[in-house]
Structure 1
Amino acid sequence: MQKQTVAYDSKIEGEVIVTQADAVINWIRKHSVWPMPMGLACCAIELMAVGASRFDISRFGMEVMRFSPRQADCMIVSGTVTYKMAEVIRRIYDQMGDPKWVVAMGACASTGGMYRSYATLQGVDRIVPVDVYISGCPPRPEALLDAMIKLQDKIGRERSLKNLTAKTAKTSPELAGVGKDA
């Protein structure tokens, strides 16, 4: 069994662990990602395989696939994005709560793939911000697992408390000073 190292400035004083709020928030977020599958074409088959017992995405804290955007925080766009579906994807993305992340799975979701037609969007990043790209046609389930681990690393490096206080300041001016560094 490997010894897990903590990358945060934390110390143990008696039976109390002292650490930064960002470290705790990010640790919770990165180990409880709730993906929402947007299976639009053949890459969705590989996406389904990741949830099955052979590849088992639940080992990484992502077992709860959500089909409601209000319950998900990671959209996995897999397959060809047409202009008809682009509006739907953007609407679903807007319905997701913050923080939220997007994974473009496969060549079609990333760049339009082999389809250069009037009906195909040349990459989902034209309508929503993408955090992780996965190459392949279709990419293997292992590639999706690798991308989700990279997304967890990205979540672990975010400035959560700063973003949280900025949103609080926008929504309630009386709480604008809460959480700021002294």
Structure 2
Amino acid sequence: MVNPLTYVFRRKVTEKFDFSDAELEALGSELKAEVNQVFGSSLAIRELDSGSDNSTEIEISNLGTPYYDVERFGISFVASPRHADVLLVTGAVTLNMAEAVIKTYEAMPSPKFVIAVGNDACDGGIYKGSYAVLGGVDKILPVDIKIPGNPPTPKEILRGIFALVKKASK
């Protein structure tokens, strides 16, 4: 018979986890410098789900966790499109959501920027050709940056936001 205390005192097997990511820190400090210069100290993003499977939203939510903490880079997510600089659209645009997407875009102040995040938002993804789906966001809105992936990682999303900020600075 096995003594239960052996499970308590024996060495635990876990994966090695680095608490800092040099690539993320470098990208973040570059991003913060650009955001300060182009948008005046903060970039406000409104995330809009236009008919996704929520995998991309999970990765976007990860940007707010202590590991990524995008607020320290000058990026914040806002509840109202009236406060947003960028519209971050996820999911293929369904027929039911097309009007809501357009109204959200129209409620934003100028200049307006749109980022399509994930394969579904970029071109319709696996829902392309469905009777209930218009396709990617570019079918109804001018898209500035597309971030492909199913879903893209938080770092890829940050790189896409950085590309948008670089594009806006020109």
TM-score by length of 1: 0.68
Correspondence for 1:88: 100
Map Cα deviations across residues 55-113 of structure 1 (whole Å, 9 max, x no partner): 22223311x21111111110100123211101100011001000110100000001000
TM-score by length of 2: 0.72
Which runs of 4 or more aligned residues in structure 1 lie more than 2 Å from their structure 2 counterparts after TM superposition? none
Question: Unaligned 5+ residue runs, structure 2?
Answer: 1-25, 27-35
Question: Unaligned 5+ residue runs, structure 1?
Answer: 3-25, 158-182
Correspondence for 1:107: 119
Pair member with larger Rg: 2
Q: Shift of residue 28 of structure 1? A: 4.3
Distance 1:30 1:87 in 2: 31
Distance 1:102 1:37 in 2: 10
Instruction: Report the identity percentage.
Output: 39
**Pairwise CA RMSD of aligned residues?**
1.9
Correspondence for 1:68: 80
1:149–1:59 Cα change, 3 Å: farther
Correspondence for 2:39: 29
- Matched length: 133
1:138–1:74 Cα change, 3 Å: same
Distance 1:75 1:139 in 2: 17
